[in-house]
């Protein structure tokens, strides 16, 4: 009888723990949007000097589970001399490494089109970043992206901002 009571109590506690763990999992897919300050830099190959400025970037995505999302970027603004960023549009696969419930590292890979006052180019893009939850649906994040890697130049950006999950 004592063994049966211990088994029943243990089963009840395990069931309650499993239910509690499932209740903490967010429902997937989970959408999110964010806004960033984007510190971009155009680095020409050769003797020409690099150009840099600050623009704005909006991002949004759909998180399918704790480890994978699809994310889009829309950015623009800023100029340095003759170089002006009119727009940046990209779509990326996002691999996520959750280090804790509140802190995640991630990598991005996909395609971007960058339109400036001189020309428009598109190509493969990649980057990495981190985000930290400051409230149940709000995270602060930072990332570094290589948006374009052309023969004549590279276009990179470091961004810092906030994301809201819904």
Tell me what the mean pLDDT of segment 90-98 comes to.
98
User: Domain limits of the chain?
Assistant: 27-165
Q: How far is 62 from 70, CA to CA, in rounded Å?
A: 5
Torsion of CA 91, 97, 98, 104, to 10 degrees: -60
Instruction: Give the model's confidence band at 82: pLDDT under 50 very low, under 70 low, under 90 confident, else very high.
Output: confident
| Mean pLDDT of the residues in the chain | 88
Ranges 9-18, 58-67, 80-89, 140-149: which has the least confidence = 9-18
Q: What is the pLDDT of residue 9?
A: 44
Q: What is the pLDDT of residue 27?
A: 87
> What is the CB neighbour count within 10 angstroms for residue 71?
19
Output the CA angle 39-75-161, nearest 5 degrees. Answer: 55
Question: Residue 41 above 80 pLDDT?
Answer: yes
User: What's the CATH code, domain 27-165?
Assistant: 2.40.160.20
Give the residue from 63, 16, 129, 51 showing the smallest Cα distance to 8: 16
More confident call, 77 vs 47: 77
Question: Residue 5 above 60 pLDDT?
Answer: no
Backbone angles phi, psi at 106, to 5 degrees: -150, 160
Instruction: Give the model's confidence band at 56: pLDDT under 50 very low, under 70 low, under 90 confident, else very high.
Output: very high
Instruction: Give the model's confidence band at 8: pLDDT under 50 very low, under 70 low, under 90 confident, else very high.
Output: very low
Identify the three-state secondary structure at position 9.
Answer: helix
């Amino acid at each position: 009888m004592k063994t049966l009571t211990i088994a029943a109590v243990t089963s009840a506690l395990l069931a309650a723990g499993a239910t509690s763990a499932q209740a903490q999992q967010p429902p997937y897919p989970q959408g999110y949007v964010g806004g960033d300050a984007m510190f971009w830099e155009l680095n020409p190959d050769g003797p020409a000097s690099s150009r840099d400025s600050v623009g704005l970037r909006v991002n949004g995505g759909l998180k399918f589970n704790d480890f994978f999302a699809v994310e889009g970027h829309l950015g623009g603004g800023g100029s340095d001399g003759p170089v002006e960023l009119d727009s940046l549009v990209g779509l990326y696969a996002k691999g996520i490494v959750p280090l804790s419930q509140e802190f995640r590292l991630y990598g991005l890979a996909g395609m971007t089109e960058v339109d400036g006052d001189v020309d428009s180019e598109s190509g493969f893009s990649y980057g990495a970043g981190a985000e930290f939850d400051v409230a149940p649906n709000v995270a602060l994040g930072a990332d570094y992206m290589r948006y374009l890697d052309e023969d004549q130049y590279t276009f990179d950006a470091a961004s810092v901002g906030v994301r809201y999950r819904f």
